Amino acid sequence: MERAEILARETKVLVFDQYGTIVDMQGDLTATATPFLKAKGWDGEAHRFVTWWRRTHYENSMIDALGGRGHTPYRQIGHRAVSYVMDRCGFDYTQAEVEWLVSQIEVLKPFPDVLVALAKLRGAGYKLAILSNGDRDMLDAAKPHIGFPFDHVISVEESGYFKPHWKTYASAAEIIGVDRSSCLFVANHAFDCIGAKCYGMRTAFIDRRKRPFGETPHQPDIIVRDFTELAVALTGG
C-alpha cells in the first residue's frame, strides 16, 4: 500500500499500451477468427491461430526494430504474420482475406473494466495517454470503438521503432511534455513494462492472465489484476 501511495503522489501521467491492455485483442480476434477458420475447414483451435499470429507479429516487429533499416508499418508486419500463419495451417487464402483479418484490430473493444476506471483516474487529476505499436491511422480508426478521449494517442511511428525500444518511450514523454519520472506506464505485457522501466518510467503490470512477470531486474512498481484495482490503488478508493 505504501508503494501505491508513492506512485499516486508522484505520477502525473498514466501511459497505456493499447493492444491487449486497453482492448481485448486475444478474445475479440479469436471471436472474429472462429467462423473464418471454420469456413476454411481448418479444425484447429481459433485461439491458437490468434496466438501464433500475435507471436509471429511480435517476432517480426522486434527484428524490424533491431535491424535499424527503417520502420515498417504495423499493418504491413501484420499482413506478413497472418500470411505466415495461414501458410502454416495449410489452407488457401487471398490477400483480401489477410487484409480483412488485420483490419479487425482497428475495431477491438476495451475490456469491461477499462472505461469506468479511466474516468475515475481522470477525475483524480491524472493525464491519460496511449503509446502503441499501431500505425497512426490504425489508432485514429480505433478511437470511436474505444470510446474514451485520451489526452494523447501516440504511435511508435513518432520514434521510428517498435516497443520496447527505449526511443518509443522517450518520444512519448517528449510529446506529452513531462519528465519520465512522472510517467506510470501501464501494460499487460512484461516486455513493454521492462522497456519502459529501462527508460526510467515507473510501471504497472496488469496481470489479467495470472502469469508470473519473470526473473528480471526491471520489476514493475505495482502489479494489479485489472484496471479497477489500478484505479483503486492510485485514487485511494
What does each C-alpha distance from 72 to 11, 60, 68, 229 come to in angstroms? 33, 10, 10, 36
Average of per-residue pLDDT values in the chain: 96
Domain ranges, ordered by start, for the chain: 2-24+108-235, 26-107
CATH topology of domain 26-107: DNA polymerase; domain 1 (1.10.150)
C-alpha separations of 10 from 30, 152, 183 in Å:
39, 20, 9
Specify whether the CB–CB gap between 111 and 23 falls below 8 A.
Answer: yes
Please state, in angstroms and as integers, the Cα–Cα distance from residue 11 to each residue in 73, 184, 201, 218, following that order: 31, 6, 10, 18
| Residue position matching grid coordinates 502489479 | 223
CATH class of the region 2-24+108-235: alpha beta
Q: For 54-91, how does the pLDDT look when each residue is reduced to its tens digit (9 = 90+)? A: 999 999 999 999 998 899 999 999 999 999 999 999 99
Torsion of CA 227, 192, 28, 53, to 10 degrees: -170
The pLDDT of residue 2 is 58
Domain pair 2-24+108-235 / 26-107, same fold: no
Cβ 180 vs Cβ 167: under 8 Å: no
- Confidence band for 164, pLDDT divided at 50, 70 and 90: very high
CB contact set of 60 (below 8 Å; sequence gap of 6+): 77, 80, 81
Cα first-last separation, the chain:
12
Backbone angles phi, psi at 58, to 5 degrees: -60, -45
Determine the average pLDDT of the residues in 196-220.
Answer: 95
Check residue 1 and give its pLDDT: 53
pLDDT at 21: 98
Cα 93 to the center of its chain, rounded Å: 28
Count of beta carbons in the 10 Å neighbourhood of residue 170? 17
pTM: 0.95
Q: What cell does 200 get?
A: 526510467
Would you say residue 205 has pLDDT above 90?
A: yes
Phi, psi of 191 (to 5 degrees): -60, -35
Query: What value does the mean pLDDT take over residues 1-11?
Result: 84
**Banded pLDDT at 3 (limits 50, 70, 90):** confident
